[in-house]
Structure formats: C-alpha cells, structure tokens
Structure 1
Amino acid sequence: MASSVLASQSVLLDTGAQMPLLGLGMYKLAAEEVHCAVDAALAAGYRAFDSAAVYQNEAKLGRALMELLPKYGLTRENVFITSKLGPRDQGEKAMEGALCSLSQLGMDYIDLYLIHWPGTQGLDVADQHNSGNRAQSWAALEDLFIQGKLKAIGVSNFMPAHMRELMLSCKIRPAVLQVEFHPHLCQAELRSMCKEWGVCFQAYTSLGKGELLTDPLVVEVAKSCSRTPAQVLLRWAVQQGIPVLPKSSKPERIKENAGIFDFTLCEDHMEQLSALERGRRFCWDPSQVV
C-alpha cells in the first residue's frame, strides 16, 4: 500500500485532531537506533511516533524528525507526536516535566501528552498521595492544553477506578487512554468506558512482547491470510478502530508492520482471536495503584 494511503488511516479525537491508527513505538529504542528507525518509518508511511520521558529518547526523536522530514517532503504539521509524563514528575513537578519534554523534543507543541502511570515514583502503590498527585498532574496538563503547548492530553495505564476518578474531577476530558491490549488481554471494561465517554482507546504491546507471534491460532490465521503473525495481531486491533504502536528498530520489520491496511480479517477469525482472552499481562499491572 502506498505510504500516502497508510498515512490517511486515522481516528478522530474529541479535540478534532486526526491521530494515525499506526504509530512507531519508541520504547527501549536506544539513542543510536532512533534515526534509522524514524527514517524507515517515514519511508513506510508512518506519521505517528510515541515516546516518553522515561524512554530517554525524546531529544533523539526530535532531532531525527528535524533532519528527516524534509527528505520526505514533510513538515512538523504532517506528523503526530506523543510523549508522556514520567512517574518521577507526577504531582507538583508535572508542569516542569511536560515543559522538559517539549524542550527535549525541540518542538513548540506536542500533539498528545499522557500521564504515563497512575502512581508516583518513590511512593508505595497503596499510598493515598498517588490520587492527589494524579489530580495535580492533570491540572498542569489542562493548563498546557489551554496554552496550546499540548494539542491533546490523556492518560496511560489507568485502570477503571483511575478513569472514574479522573472523569469526576477533570475540567478537560482525556482524549486518549493508552493501555496494554492484545488477544490475551482484551480490556472489555476499559473499552466500554472509553466508548461511553468519547475517549480514544489506544493499544500498546500488541504483539505480547513477541510471545503472541507463536500462538498456534495466530500462526494459523496468518497462514490462511498469507500474512505474518505480527500483521494479523495488529490488524485485529485496527479493524476494531484501535490505534496501535508496534516498536521495532529493524527497517524490514517496521515496513512489515505497516502492511495492515490492505487486507481484512474475516468475522470468524476476529471472533477466534478475541476468544483467546485470558487476562494475561506481559507488562506491569497498574491495578494495585490507589
């Protein structure tokens, strides 16, 4: 599929912005890998990039885009950049943390900025101060949204209780909830809540840290579609309107992951994949954070 067509595949946020259904996840991308990965992604048609303060590659991402966008006839306005507030900056340091992300990226605005984690670095998960710190962080993000420095704001790794708390107290609703999502963890309750409140539900760890690539059913579906297991897992999500953020440093894998918009999984395959649900997490469990 032509990169221009891939780039047009997006979801409408409640801010009125279009967020691409496919983005490059920057998690664990080493500094020396960023430039090559961004180059391959832009060539393949990616127009969204997902970083975070804790990834320690915001500056590298910003520099890579500055150097590479002209190569593809693109400008800053043609890409959608997401970053996230580090848990160490949760609370009274939130404004400083968000402005630091802006500075690291070398940009005048960030398209989407998320509270990365419901807890605070250094606090026990049962510490009641976590709730107050989240509220303080959200107020800072609301201020930066009003100033136009953050074009959309949201949260990551929030569970149902965290979302209910935020929706009761916020002045500006979160545009996005980004959580772990794949056939082994379908997050039905969170998806229902997001649908009710007009919040975009976004997936990370769509490939189960690689473990789902060898799941017998995923392999079987991939063979029947003449696709790779990764493409099947990503297609399963985007076919439900759920944006995905596969991470890779390998140009050939980045290109392969982009090939998910020129085929459709049949209804039986979609149902079979969804039936793999077992509540299994490959990443951290945020549900214990009060």
Structure 2
Amino acid sequence: MAFAKVLQRPAVALSNGLQIPVLGLGTSHDGGFSHDAVVYALTECGMRHIDTAKRYGCEEKLGKAIRESGIPRSDLWLTNKLWPGDYGYKAARKACVESCSRVGVEYFDLYMMHWPEALNPGCSNREVRAETWRALEELYKEGVCRAIGVSNFLVRHLEQLKEDCSVVPHVNQVEYHPFQQPNELINYCRQEGIVFEGYSPLAKGQVLRDPTVLQIAEKHKRTPAQICIRWSIQNGVVTIPKSVKKERILENCQVFDFQLDDSDMAALGGLHDGRHVTWDPTNLE
C-alpha cells in the first residue's frame, strides 16, 4: 500500500520529553467511528495521532484499522481513556491492560482518566481520583503508558492530584473552541508543565455558522472548520477534530499552509460565551 507523504507537522513537547502531534483524529461512540475513515486518515492524509476511549466501544475496530493501514506502531501516537466505572487501583490497571489487548498494542502513548467524577459509592471523588492516578503512575513507570493524563479536569482537580500524587499529568484534555475558552485553566496547565489539549474544536458544528468565523473564512478562502482548527493550533492547543467522512478529514488536515492574522485571532478570541456542547465538569468536586 502506498502511503501518503507525511508532512512535517508541528508537535508539542510533553514534560517528559515526548512529542505529541498537534493535530489528531478523534473517535467517538454513537456512529463516531469509521474503519475506512481511519485507514484513509492514516494512509492518505498522513495522520499519525489517533484519540479513542474505552467508553466509545470501538477499540477492536480501531486496532483492525491501524493494522490494515500498515503504518508501523512506532510511527503512531495512540491516546486512550479510562472510564470512571474502572476507577480504583486494581480496576484501572486491569482496564488499561484489557484496552491494550483490544486495540492489539503493547502500550499507549497517552492514557488518561476520562472524567473527574468517580462512580464508586462511599468514597470521595478526590480519594478515588488519587487511588486511580497511582495506578496510572505505575503503568507509566512500567512503560505500558508512555505518558499519562486527565480529561475534563479543572484547576481544583489538578491541584488536589498534585498534592496527593507524585507524577503531574502530562496532558489535560478539555472542551475547547471559540465559544469555550477556559483561559484560567490553560494558563494554570502551562504554568504546571501540563500540555493543554482541546476536543470539540468545532463546537459540534455550532461555530461553523458564526458570522465572525464565516467572515474570516471568506477572507482566507478557507472553510469555517479550517479557520477554527487553525485558531486552536495557533494558540498552541493540541487539537483533535472528529469526523467519519473522508473529505472532512482531509479538509481538517489542510491547516498548516496558512496563518491567521493577529486581528483574526483577536476576533475569534472574542467569541467566548462560556457555552459547553458536551460534558460540563464545573460543579464536580
């Protein structure tokens, strides 16, 4: 199989020295996975960063697509996430090993706690997060996970984890788009050496109809999606748009040959209204 030429795309350095590609392909449940789309992304678009989760129920399918692509494992960045139903020391270790088995790999490049709330009755969220994180620390030291992180964690959750454990998360993956810009959290992460990664960069399509986005897209002769993804990347945010359509995946990858002006960045930065298009962890202790 002839592989697409892999463009020299930017990567962001983690605190442990690993380089995470700044653009990835997200997967999801409820029709959010396509075998052909993943193979296309890897072989025709040069994508080398794939994000999934046990919650999405597509680990086996993803492993099959990766094997069919023929891309060497060492050339890929694979992120997986631990669902709260598997929180706790023993359960987390077991779930990670089982996820590796389902995907058909010996390690994940990044393994994350998916959500700050625990589902374990009788224990505080903080206690369960700390116990679970200690399991991830061991998996990291054993090489089963080359990096470990969290998703949807706010500053207070990260502060508690820092007090309770020894390894600071390498990544925090949070909803991020022009309507949802958690700048206090971003600044905290950067201060602590935590790479900030954004999901839902298109706000589930809501941002594609915004007049400011449309105006900037027209100015640059680009699509609204490309403008939003480019904005995230120029802000230094690792970005993982999701799509199961080949033409959209190709479009989303074509964001490295143009630059947004300072005025564009400022205009998009002014669109924040605090809305969430997915889970909102604001009230979780």
Alpha carbons 1:94, 1:136 under 8 Å: kept: no
Tell me, yes or no, if structure 1 residue 141 matches structure 2 residue 136: yes
CA deviation map 1:26-73 (0-9, x unaligned): 013648x5321111211111100000010001111111111212xxxx
User: Deviation of residue 283 (structure 1)?
Assistant: 0.8
Higher helix share: 1
- TM-score, structure 2 as length reference: 0.95
Q: TM-score, length-normalised on structure 1?
A: 0.93
Q: CA distance change for structure 1 residues 153 and 187 in 2, over 3 Å: closer, same or farther?
A: same
1:213 to 208, 211, 219: 208
Structure 2 alignment gaps of length 5 or more: none
Match of residue 260 from structure 1 = 255
Q: 2:37·2:245 contact (CA, 8 Å) conserved in 1?
A: yes
Listed as ranges, the matches of 1:195-210 within 5 Å are: 195-210=190-205
Q: Mark the CA change 1:107 to 1:78 in structure 2 (over 3 Å): closer, same or farther.
A: same
Tell me by how many angstroms 1:118 deviates: 0.5
Give the corresponding residue for 1:5: 7
After TM superposition, where is structure 1 displaced by more than 6 Å over at least 4 residues in a row?
A: none
Q: Does 2:19 align with 1:18?
A: yes
1:223 is paired with a residue whose SS is: helix
Preserved contact between residue 110 and residue 145 of structure 2 (Cα < 8 Å) = yes
- Deviation of residue 25 (structure 1)? 0.3
2:171 aligns with 176
CA contact (8 A) 1:82 1:110 kept: yes
Amino acid at match of 1:254: I
Q: Does 1:66 align with 2:67?
A: yes
Contact 1:91/1:132, CA 8 A, preserved across alignment: no
Provide, for residues 88-130 of structure 1, a one-character-per-residue CA deviation record: whole Å limited to 9, x for no partner.
111241111111111111111100000000012365xxx7521
In the other structure, the counterpart of 1:157 is 152
Whole-angstrom CA distance in 1 between matches of 2:149 and 2:39:
27
TM-superposed CA distance for 1:167, in Å, is: 1.5
Q: Structure 1 stretches of 5 or more lacking a match?
A: none
Which of 277, 283, 287 in structure 1 is aligned with 2:282?
287
Checking the alignment, whether the CA contact within 8 Å between 1:112 and 1:153 is kept in structure 2 is yes
Task: Provide, for residues 161-184 of structure 1, a one-character-per-residue CA deviation record: whole Å limited to 9, x for no partner.
Answer: 101111222211110000001111
Q: Do the aligned partners of residues 235 and 29 (structure 1) sit closer, same or farther apart at CA in structure 2, a change above 3 Å counting?
A: farther
Q: Is contact 1:23–1:49 with CA below 8 Å preserved after alignment?
A: yes
Amino acid at match of 1:266: D
Summarize deviations over 1:219-274 as a string: whole Å, max 9, x none: 11000010000000000010111111000000000000001110000000000100
Q: Among residues 57, 79, 84, which one is paired with 1:87 in the alignment?
A: 84
**Which residue number in structure 1 is paired with residue 75 of structure 2?**
78
Equivalent position of 2:40 in the other structure: 40
Task: Name 1:121's counterpart in structure 2.
Answer: 119
